[in-house]
Each structure stands twice: as C-alpha cells, then as structure tokens.
Structure 1
Amino acid sequence: MITIDLNARILSEEHNVFVVRPGKGYRLYREFRENSSLIAELPGLKLEADVPLNEQNLRRRVNRSRAFRAWYRRGQPADDRPSGKLGDYGDGGGNSAAQLEGLVRTYYEKIKRGDLVIVPPRAYMDEVLIGEVRSSGSKYETEKVPRLFGNEELPARNVRWLARLPKTELPFAILDALQKPNAAFIVERSLRGQFYKLAYGNYSINDLYSARFEVTSADFDTFDDALLQGFFNFAAANTKAIAEDRENEVKSFEHAAFIDSGDYLAQLQTNINSPGFISLIGQRITPLVASVLFIIAIDVGPDAVAQTEAGNMIMTNSKAAANDSCTAEVAKQAFRQIQLLGLDGWPAACERARDVAKRTGLRSPATVRRDN
C-alpha cells in the first residue's frame, strides 16, 4: 500500500495570526523559544482554574501582579513584599492596568488553539519564531522564569514552533507596529500568506490554496523554470478538465504544458536561493493537486498507474481531520488524472518531474510512504 500525505493545513475563515512580544525589552525571547510557550510577565496573577475571566476580579488580579512586578524590579526586599490578598487591591490602575488586563484576555480568550503566533527578537540579526498554539485558553497554563521571577507562575500558552525567518524579512507594517508598546496584536489578513507558507508548506484558507516547494540546489536556470512551469500548467489543465466533467479532455504533458487554463492556473512566487522555494498560489485547488502529482511522479513514477487502478494508493492528511473534504477532492483529482493519462501519458510527466527534481533538488511538501 502506498500512502500519500497531503501534509496541508486546512484553515477556517476564523483562523488568526498574532504577533506576541516576548516580554519587556524582548527579554523573555529565550524562554519563549526553549519552553515552547508564550509567557506574560504577570507574576501573582494566579487565575482560578475553570472560572471564566469575567468572574475572576481580573482588574484586581492585574493590580496585584503590577505590585509584584515592581517588587521584583526592586530586588525583592523581604520587608516590602506585596500582599497576596486580592481584597487588598482595587479596580483602578488607569491605562496601564487596562492594557495588562487586555493582554490577559488576548492570551486566554482571543488567541485560540491552532492560531499562528509570530514572536520577534530584539536584534535584527536574530530569528523571528513562527508557531502554532497547541493548548486551549481555558486551561490557564503557566510557566516559570526563575532568573527574573523566582518560583512565581506566569500566564502562558503552549506553542509548537514551526518555522523561523530573519527579523529583517518581517513586513514593514509589523516592524512599524513593534515600535509601539503593544505586547500582542493581530496581523492583518493581507500579510498572513508569508507566515502560512513558512509554517505549513501546503495550506488552504477560504478560497485560497497554496503549495510551497523547497529548492535545495544553488543552480536554477531558465530551462529548469520552463520544465517546472510546464508541469504546473499540465496539472492545471487536467484539474480543470476533471472539475468541469470533461475527462475526455485530460491531456498528456506535451499537450497540456502550454494550455491557458484560466483561473485554474496558479500564481508562481519564486525565491531561488540556496536553499530557496517556489510557491504556487491560486483560487482553485490546483496548487495542492500539483504538489501531490509532483511527489508521486518522483517517488512512485510510472507504477502509479497500476497502483491507482488496483486501489493500492490512498491519500491522508496529517494536518487535517480524517473526513476533510479538501483532502478528498485533491485525492480524487490526482488519482483520476493518473488513471486517465495511463501508461501512454503519465510516464512522460514523471520524466519531466524527475528531470526538474534532479537538477534543482525540488521537493514537494506532500510525502509518500510505502507499507509492506
């Protein structure tokens, strides 16, 4: 049995991306990275488990935390430790208290499980952390930072770091926002694609589909580019034919590579460094289908025709639910195209894909596994 993992994150319309500053002066960057956590500098907050924030006297807890923060800054004098009793604190505190209360609500209410978080470093030569939140905000997780706050528990969210990039490559709008004192803010939708591609490789959200191919070779010339675009055009033309119930119009590589398939053609974004990447982006499912056809062409080859006809090839998606409709549509498209091309058309497409992969080290984000 051959299993194709689409390896694509299927994002809902409600999915969000946040920038979270790693503490005052970025001083918690190391703990964010090493603990795989977002951590708010709020010692003494001590939220009650399983109690909604609106029922927690949150402003008083924030003011108690402010008192403890100031005490730690003073060096923790033994004769001046703040009171731990919540009743000793009021509901005021002005803008500072309001901003910290907003931070708590962002950590535990606004940031959802599965949202993406961007954590910038202080220095421009250091790396931005990109990760996915793994925990539910209702758990009120905590972390400790002994070098700053002793044994105090600080509000936290568990994160799985997925990618990194130089701070200099952050969009200007985010760099500009970092000049302001906001501890956390949401990234506008028009800027999110860069982070989705880095974090997930293959992904879809709303009516947008994207696949990111890695380039490992230092050499990438115009011939490589022509072969690759021909393969992508070939996938687009046949995806359109099947989607429009015109299976008799599925064509071989030589005949489909130069067909204008309208909105089934994907936009190509290229960054050829060593390593570099090539991204396909479109409003049709073509990028995901192309990523699957490419990896099958390389790792399975002409034998894919017999395997699909025998029912020995299946598709899964390690980043989506078992019944995901997008994954099912990609499987239908890719396997049907291979069947219709048959041994008259599919081997030629395999040859072109393998030529590109051999010359450039190009790899699809989809993967192949063979089970004995």
Structure 2
Amino acid sequence: MNKNSIANTTTSASAGNINKSWVCEAIRKINADYNRSSDTHLIRVELPCFDDITLYLKDESTHPSGSLKHRLARSLFLYGLCNGYIHEDTTIVESSSGSTAISEAYFARLLNLRFIAVVPETTAKEKLDKIRFYGGECHKVPGKDIYTEATRLAGELNGHYMDQFTYAERATDWRGNNNIAESIFHQMGKESHPIPDWVVMSAGTGGTSATIGRYIRLNPEFYHRTRLCVVDPENSVFYPYFQNRNPNLTSEHGSRIEGIGRPRVEPSFQPDVIDRMLSIPDAASIATIRWLEGILGRKCGGSTGTNVYGALQLMQEMQHTGTSGSVVSLICDSGERYLDSYYDDKWVSKQGLDLDPYLQQLRTICS
C-alpha cells in the first residue's frame, strides 16, 4: 500500500464528522460528576423485635437526581458515548416510568443534549415535573406503547434510544468499580454480621439485580453465605418467568408500583443469578412505606416498600429457624414523588387496595 492509499484510508475512517473533543469532554463531565459524589449511606434500621437479625437499607435516594437510577443513567450514557451512539447533537430518547428518565434528564442537561422521555400516561405528576426540571420533555403514551413509540421517536429524530430494559445489565460494570454491590459489601465490613444472609432487591430493568447477583458469585467469600432475593409487585411477569422460564409471558396491566415490575420479560432480567423470588401484594408495599415512615422519620417510594416487606418475611424465617445474621435492601427513591398516589388515601381507595390488614401485620411484628 502506497503513502497516498494510507492517507485515504485514514480519511475514510474519520468520516461521519465525529467530534472526538466533544466526546472526551462529555466523558470527563460525567466522571467529574461521579467524582464529586460521595457514596450513599447504608442505614441500620432499629427493629428490636428481631433478636440478633439486623436490617440495613442502602439509601439511593440521596443521589443528585434522587434515586437508584442515577447509577444506571450514568452507565447508560457512558455506554452510549463509548459505543459511538451519542454525539454532540444527538437527541436522547428513553422509555421510562419516571426515575430513570429523571436521572437521564439530569445527565442530558449536563451534556447539553435534548432529552425526551416516553412515559406511561399514569406516571406520577411529581416525576414528570422533575423530568422537566432537568430540561427533559415528557411524551405520554399508553403503557404498552412506550417501547415502540421510543423506537419510532429516536428513528424520526435521528436520535439514540437508550433502551434501559435491554442495556441495563451490560452497561453496568458488575465486577466492581464501586458499583452498588461492591459498595454494599464494603459498607457492611465492620458490622456484627458483615456478610449478609440476604440481599433483597426489586426489579425494573433487572440491571441492578444482575449486578448484585454476579458480584456475589464473583467473590467466593460472599457466594458461600449471601443469597439474592428479588421481590416482584403485582401485574409483573418476572416472578412467573423465574418459575417457568417462559420468555413470551406478558401482562395486560402495568405495575402500580412505579419503577419496578414489567408487563413483559425484559432482556436485562437475568433469572439465573437470583436465588429466590417473592411476589409482594401492592397493598403490602404501600402499607410498608407508611409503617416505615414511623421508623425512619421520612417517606420512601413504593418500590422501597416492596423491598422492605420482602426483607421482613426473610427475617421472620430466620427468626423461626434461630438464625442470626443480616439482611440488606434498598431505599430506591423518596416518597415525596408519590404524595398524590401512595400517600393519598383517596388514590389508594380508588385502586381498590386495603392497607389495614398489612398495617396490622406490620405493627404486630414489632409490637
């Protein structure tokens, strides 16, 4: 190959007008944002009724964009940038019930990119307001149409569909790099029972449960002791899929517990890294966050209720078998986003939910 042909090859490889300086600066900004952020707290929950069994909640609501999804959004942006999907004029599109869209809007604003969230019509107003606060646009559609509409919009605008439900489990570094799993086990290091018996996590994309499950298996000292339990709300197909492995399962109804549960089996959901699943009634999830407010002194989102109700079931099982140890779960986001739903008695009644049996059960646990 002569000198001219080498020059032509180089020119051809640079086609597409990719602004490498902008990409490098975008990655620097995301890494700088990460560097400014301290890790989230791991809260020890005082429940004296459980003798030598301790519940810990990792408070993901303290991220800059207010939820666990801040980690996912950061990973998805880096994934898109490093794969060449995102450029300085790319419109970012996502299908989301709220929290992921809020976090992605945060990062889109950081990079001065247009962001459109395709959201179910039932998404809480507080979440929509937060997306708009970060400069995002909200495009409401029926819940069953969010995937196809996000794909259509991205194609029409020559944008990039982030597709959290496909890429969540592969965009996150599950081996470490201070991911949520590594952080949990590091923060547990000086506790009375430093290696948890259970980590309890609800699933939306399945990305976080995949990260935690893989990390546990990567480290033999944890794998011998720690099990991963994924809790699932009503109207979600993850729980039956875990039982029968039918990838074609669908549900006609969306989850009332925003951010978790899906009407179809998502590519990011990895059942083989999960040790156990529990199906949690929606009324139990909502009752639990109201009960938990009296213990923590603040409101949490509905998925936190799903997590904690499942964790309490496991702690009761440990108690019945005389097992000492620890259980770790997550506060996924703040309850301030759900004042018009989970904390509104009229909304609860309209949904046909009766919280009283579960509230009585929860009060009895630690009476």
TM-score by length of structure 2 reads 0.27
**What's the TM-score, normalizing by structure 1?**
0.26
Structure with larger RCO (C-alpha < 8 A, sep 6+) = 1
Larger Rg: 1
Structure with the larger strand share: 1
